[in-house]
Amino acid sequence: MLFLYTVLVICCAIVLVAGVIEQRRHFTNLDLIPTRVLINGIRGKSSITRLCAGALRGGGLITVAKTTGTAARFIHPDATEEPVYRKFGIANVVEQIGIVRRAAAYRPHALVIECMAVMPALQEVNQTKLIRSTIGVLCNVREDHLAEMGPTLDDVARSLSRSMPHGGICVTAERDRLHILREEAAKRDCRLIAVDPETVSDAELRGFSWFTFKENVAIALAVAELLGVDRATALRGMYDAPPDPGVLSVERYRTREGMPFRFANIFAANDPESTLMNVEQLLSLGAVDRPLHVLINCRPDRVERNGQMGEIIPRLAPDSVFLIGHPTKSAHDAIPAEWRERVVDLGGDRRDAAELENEILGRLGPGASLVAIGNIHGQGELLLERLAELPTDEPQTSGELR
């Protein structure tokens, strides 16, 4: 028995020493990167990461970036990128150690990296142990991940604030809970910079070949200014930055019978506020038009979100609402009674994608727009694959999603 205890103690000691060595090596790699920008918030993190990296590249700074969203990407200083390898396809915050090591090999001026932690404690670990950012970005506080960071939006704001750098700088476009962010920044001796989206002109926004929001551009411009990159140069760099694979797309399709319609993939917006912002922007730009039809894809592990999508139906005012996935009841029950006559429930976790396509497109009229919201995984992905096989009516227009 004593022998077993001795072996256990020795093994624990070896693990402890190895952990200390690994941490010191990681901190050494961090020190090789003078500016580390950590992007946190609810919506738009991947897009802001790419915008910031583009702005800094435009200013001649050697910049490495990493996104986490729809498709995690490691972005090299020349803007080429590659998928982030994940064992068994499972995301883990520990992967940031490998990202920092790869970034440090370039001896870059800056690393722009998206926060991949949701749990408040992990967000703090991500900041204090893994990234130790010099500039933080807290883009917005929205209604998502309430089970982990909530239950209220005030709680979400405080949870996200755990990624603020102590003694550093944090940039935000949040307005409604700016007072909470100021309180949290003061606790950390962090300088909080609140940007005004209206400082970004419509002409500057039109310079993008894809849809984006003024909030995201304003944040990237503020980060660029902090690092000495002038506005015009930063904008040119952002215009050249490749968009995220999860970027909002509006496609012009024809059904298999030849009827034209538009399809907007807003699945990745997730929370109701971002979803509404996207639809309103697309309507105002004429990218989609009425008659408008809404598709909600439901997931059993996102029941709360299913309901949130149902609740916003009156504000979208669609001609019809298609429910797919499972359990559709979670979305159906949240739709106000006066709108339920417009609901077409096609739910069921084993419904064939071809059957769903026929049911949905058969109910659209010529020139209609179909907007997909909620969750992409499950039948949403299968339906997208089917739609991608349809003939196009015109070249697609793409845009950012948050």
pLDDT tens string for the chain (402 positions)?
777 777 777 778 777 776 667 778 888 999 999 999 999 998 889 999 999 999 999 999 999 999 986 578 999 999 999 998 877 667 778 889 999 999 999 999 999 999 988 899 989 999 999 999 999 999 999 887 777 887 899 999 999 999 999 999 999 999 999 999 999 999 999 999 999 999 999 899 888 877 888 999 999 999 999 999 999 999 999 999 988 776 777 889 999 888 999 999 888 777 888 899 889 888 988 889 999 999 999 988 888 889 999 999 999 999 999 999 999 999 999 999 999 999 999 988 778 888 999 999 999 988 899 999 988 888 888 898 899 899 988 654 444 444
The 3-state secondary structure of 147-167, one letter per residue = HHHCCCHHHHHHHHHHHCCCC
At residue 58, the 3 state secondary structure works out as helix
The pLDDT of residue 402: 44
DSSP 7-27: HHHHHHHHHHHHHHHHHHHHH
CA angle 130–114–272, rounded 5-degree value: 130
pTM: 0.77
Q: How far apart are CA 142 and CA 159, in angstroms?
A: 12
Q: How far apart are CA 174 and CA 168, in angstroms?
A: 18
Q: Extract the tokens encoding 172.
A: 């935000």
φ, ψ for residue 208, nearest 5 deg: -85, 145
Q: How far apart are CA 25 and CA 19, in angstroms?
A: 10
φ, ψ for residue 296, nearest 5 deg: -110, 120
Q: Extract the tokens encoding 316.
A: 């979208």
The pLDDT of residue 89: 65
Q: Which residues pair with 67 in a beta bridge?
A: 73
The pLDDT of residue 18: 66
At residue 348, the 3 state secondary structure works out as coil
The pLDDT of residue 343: 95
At residue 50, the 3 state secondary structure works out as helix
The pLDDT of residue 398: 45
Q: List Cβ neighbours of 78 (8 Å cut-off, separation of 6 or more).
A: none
| Helix boundaries (H) for 107-191 | 120-125, 146-149, 153-160, 178-187
The 10 Å Cβ neighbour count of residue 117 is 23
Q: How far apart are CA 317 and CA 240, in angstroms?
A: 36
**Ramachandran bin of 189, using left for φ above 0, alpha for ψ from -120 to 50, beta for the remaining angles:** left
Q: List Cβ neighbours of 322 (8 Å cut-off, separation of 6 or more).
A: 293, 294, 295, 296, 344, 346, 359, 360, 363
Task: Decide: residue 105, CB within 10 A, 0-12 exposed, 13-18 middle, 19+ buried.
Answer: exposed
Q: Are 65 and 242 in contact (CB under 8 A)?
A: no
- Which residue from 153, 398, 178 is spatially nearest to 278, judged by alpha carbons? 398
Q: Are 255 and 365 in contact (CB under 8 A)?
A: no
The 10 Å Cβ neighbour count of residue 86 is 11
- Percentages of the chain per state (helix, strand, coil), in multiples of 5: 45, 20, 35
Helix pair 231-240, 45-58: axis angle to 10 deg: 120
The pLDDT of residue 178: 97
According to DSSP, the β-strands at 249-254 and 397-398 are antiparallel
Task: Decide: residue 336, CB within 10 A, 0-12 exposed, 13-18 middle, 19+ buried.
Answer: exposed
The 10 Å Cβ neighbour count of residue 37 is 29
Fill in the DSSP letter of residue 92. -
